[in-house]
Structure 1
Amino acid sequence: MTDAPAETAPPRTPVRVPLVTEPLGVMGSLRAARENVLSIIPDIATRQPMVSGRTGKRWHMVTDPDAIRRMLLENLDNYPKSLVTKNLLRPAIGESLFIAEGAHWRWQRRTAAPVFSHRNVMNLAPVMTAAARRSADRIAAAGPRAVDVAADMVRTTFDVIADVTFSGDGMFDADGVHRGIDAYIAEAGRVSLFDILGLPDWVPRPGRLMAGGAVRDMKRVADEAVEARRARGPEGVPDLLDLLLDGEDPETKRRMNTAELRDNLLTFIVAGHETTALTLGWSLYLCAFDQEVQDRARAEARAVLSGDAATGDDVARLPFIRQIIDEALRLYPPAGMVSRTAMAADTLCGREIRPGDTVILPIYALHRHHMLWDNPDAFRPDRFADRKAMPRYAYLPFGDGPRICIGASFALQEAVIILATLLARFRFTPVPGRDPDPVMILTLRPQGGVWLMAEEV
């Protein structure tokens, strides 16, 4: 008698959001969305090109790259951001680049695009290097105990954005603005039943009324800082505010007024630190999850870095670390779901789209789609060794088309610099029983933090 072959356990996968397998209904959808927006995605959306339904109003979830291309490129003006998205964010960031549509968006985009040129982004790299070094020193000083690296990444990336936005200008209360943004998101960012039912904007949303005072104070502080800089002028290397003040629409010669400058700066502060912090927190979790990947990344960093922190010039020579960041953005995209409202009749995946329909891009499901990715829930940075091999509209951490994130190159440079600096200095290992919980309200956050042991090597 021979022994039966031992069963091999399936490979462990990183934490993920459990998707829906049965219809939730209006009240069930509301409860789920208020806890975790991604939990309303049906699991079938990771296996079919399009899923449709009705929850108060008609909706469609689209994960077909050709249909997404039509929405984001070929028929862009027919799919503006949904009223739900605008209602959530307009009180905090006005009609800035993130929200504006049509001609108002186009002139702002033309004005702001030169701000994020390769030259300007490289000029800001020393700020990123200095922040990475301070982060490493804080982690080292914490001693041999568990550290919430997600919280430290928020601090690190906020240091960067505050410095590159206002050059440490004493007139600008960066922490006050940060608190105001967080207070608004905490009170107003949760989906309202009124939004799901499609009630008009003039019907008050109680949470947003509660957060109004913090937003008014935040905008007043930012307005004062803009006016002070306008009067003072630039000093040294131009920061984002200097560049925006100097910006001009090449077609109309229009410049941004104080309110437009303020709303776009607040947008850059929100989008420019939290999303990068989230990407870094998830990247460190994944490196601790897979020690072989971490060892390979550490070897690359140590072979490239000439000092104790990575620089802008090092970024192009750290391809594997960039692949880790790309894979973290695939598994945990900061904007895990994006919604649009159809303005006119259209056809997607052979299905009728009516005016007023909500058309959702469930980026989280797209990035884990079984028709587009091999073993989609697995952590495999080598997927990105040949980016040309993947369908263009199957990977959208920064969106795509004309409205692709204007700060994508800034964010990626910052993330590579910080991750390389930390991996060159520390070995990160998981804390048993402290896995993060991926939860999306406005962004996909590691609820409970990312607690890791950090040992200097």
Structure 2
Amino acid sequence: MTTQLSKAAAVPGPVGHPLLGMLPALRDDLLGSILDGFHTYGDVVAYHVGLPRGPRAVSVDVVNVHHPDGIHQVLTTPQVFSRRASAYEILREFIGEGLLTSDGDHWLQQRRTLQPLFTPRRVARYTELMAEEAARVVDDMAVTAGSVVDLYQVMQRYTMRVVGRALFGDDIDEVVPRLQELMPILGDLALARALQVVKLPLSWPTPRSRRITQVRTAQYEIVDRIIAARQRVGDEENEDMLSRLFAAKDPETGQSLSMEEIRDQILVFLLAGHETTSAGLAFTMHLLGRHPEVQDRVAAGIGTGDEELVRAAVMEGMRLYPPVYSMERMTEADVVVSGHRIPANTKVVVAPWVTHRHPEFWPDPERFDPDRFLGQQDRPRYAYFPFGGGPRSCIGEHFALLEMTVLLSALLARYRVAAPDERPEVVPMVTLRPAGAVRATLTVR
């Protein structure tokens, strides 16, 4: 390793502002900046943030890794690339120690306990629920057919109702609107905190800290109330995920989840299962609305038993607009990635937003083409990773893909979608979101 380190090159990257480094550019246009960095400097790029030689509290280097081989190394060797990164520390402040934010033995125990709840067979049991909610969306659209709708708003309602019913059963009419209101606020506050170079403790009574505490308390109260009500009435009759969380046990130790752990898992499922899926659906529908010839091909296969193109359209939508646009790790030792030396205690970012546009693996990368995902694909595993990878890959991948294909099939079977021929503006919050309404016109086929 010493020889390898000594031969490895330093990581190249832009200089940025003389005092603040790349902080202004990354704040103003994060996605554009890292894509430009890739095109200019290659597969490993360093971004200095803060004072040129300041203390670590106000100065940090971030290294972005874009080649699939390097991404494989980052995501599959947690002993070298840990989740001791600020993004997860911030999320932990908001949603506790659930599967997304925990680490080490605590995470491993949770993963073993929860994995049986998300096998393809278990997830398939939610198909009927998803179809019912998709039918609700289709029927609601009948009122506005021919007028302009906001696809993102429609998809948010659908995904929150699906994840709400999957978690809590049918009694969600009071819960869903309040959670739908709180989740975007949480995302905004988390991003604002992530962009602070100096992060004050939440115990300090600043306006932002007070707001964070208010939102977190409101979320906890909603979920704790549901858990307490379920405990009072018992859950022998229920088949929802909350009942399964009560019954879940670590297969190695037999240990059950505590009530606090159950609450934290629910908050993770709500955040990950709502925000990411609704954005992915809205962007995919908009892309189909801008490419009517592709849309007609997708719609033609619905109901014929040959619906592979529906899933391919979803996957291509997530290639161009990956809801989880970047993932962070922290180096626990000096390491070489793609021939470049990265010191210990460096934040390393892998970004689907960039790698999904890597021209070596995606010819004409900005073109919307679901055929890329049909048949045998001769691409490296990590040329495409909207659900992450390695031991920390998203446990809800099967659920999300099923949820998206069910809704897309239901809508396209009834309606033709027309969208403005322009790319929707996006904002990289905790997840990728549209900057405003994602407008489209629906007409009955």
Q: Same fold (TM over 0.5)?
A: yes
Q: Given the alignment of the two structures, is residue 57 of structure 1 paired with residue 45 of structure 2, yes or no?
A: no
The amino acid across from 2:327 in the alignment is V
Per the alignment, in what secondary structure is the counterpart of residue 251 of structure 1?
coil
The amino acid across from 2:136 in the alignment is R
Q: Given the alignment of the two structures, is residue 337 of structure 1 paired with residue 330 of structure 2, yes or no?
A: no
Please give the per-residue CA displacement for 1:66-122, whole angstroms capped at 9, x wherever unaligned: 12111111x213222353202331122111110111111100000010111222211
Aligned counterparts of 2:319 and 2:116: Cα–Cα separation in 1 = 28
Residue 16 of structure 2: aligned partner: 23
Aligned counterparts of 1:176 and 1:162: Cα–Cα separation in 2 = 11
Contact 2:90–2:194 under 8 Å retained in 1: no
Aligned residue among 144, 160, 167 for 2:162 = 160
Residue 256 of structure 1: aligned partner: 257
Residue 300 of structure 1: aligned partner: 301
Contact 2:92–2:101 under 8 Å retained in 1: yes
Equivalent runs, 1:3-42 vs 2, <5 Å? 23=16, 27=20, 29-34=22-27, 36-42=29-35
Contact 1:50–1:60 under 8 Å retained in 2: yes
Residue 129 of structure 1: aligned partner: 131
Per the alignment, in what secondary structure is the counterpart of residue 261 of structure 2?
helix
Per the alignment, in what secondary structure is the counterpart of residue 389 of structure 1?
coil
- What is the percentage of aligned positions where both structures have the same residue? 31
Per the alignment, in what secondary structure is the counterpart of residue 341 of structure 2?
strand
Q: In the TM superposition, what is the alpha-carbon distance from 1:155 to its structure 2 partner?
A: 0.5
Equivalent runs, 1:14-413 vs 2, <5 Å? 23=16, 27=20, 29-34=22-27, 36-46=29-39, 48-55=42-49, 56-73=59-76, 75-169=77-171, 173-195=175-197, 207-234=208-235, 236=237, 238-304=239-305, 317-386=306-375, 388-413=377-402
Alpha-carbon distance change, 170 to 141 in structure 1, aligned in 2, over 3 angstroms: closer
After TM superposition, the score normalised by the length of structure 2 is 0.88
Q: Given the alignment of the two structures, is residue 449 of structure 1 paired with residue 437 of structure 2, yes or no?
A: yes
Please give the per-residue CA displacement for 1:152-182, whole angstroms capped at 9, x wherever unaligned: 0000111101111000336973332332332
The amino acid across from 1:59 in the alignment is V
Please give the per-residue CA displacement for 1:312-370, whole angstroms capped at 9, x wherever unaligned: xxxxx411010000101110000111121112221111222212111111210010012
Alpha-carbon distance change, 328 to 148 in structure 1, aligned in 2, over 3 angstroms: same
Aligned counterparts of 1:351 and 1:371: Cα–Cα separation in 2 = 20
Tell me how many residue pairs correspond in the alignment: 422
Q: CA RMSD in A?
A: 2.4
Aligned counterparts of 2:271 and 2:143: Cα–Cα separation in 1 = 28
Aligned counterparts of 2:413 and 2:400: Cα–Cα separation in 1 = 20
After TM superposition, the score normalised by the length of structure 1 is 0.86
Per the alignment, in what secondary structure is the counterpart of residue 57 of structure 1?
strand
> Which ranges in structure 1 are unaligned for 5 or more consecutive residues?
1-19, 305-316
Please give the per-residue CA displacement for 1:244-278, whole angstroms capped at 9, x wherever unaligned: 11111111211111111001101101111221111
Contact 1:146–1:431 under 8 Å retained in 2: no
Q: In the TM superposition, what is the alpha-carbon distance from 1:402 to its structure 2 partner?
A: 1.0
Per the alignment, in what secondary structure is the counterpart of residue 211 of structure 1?
helix
> Which ranges in structure 2 are unaligned for 5 or more consecutive residues?
1-12, 50-58
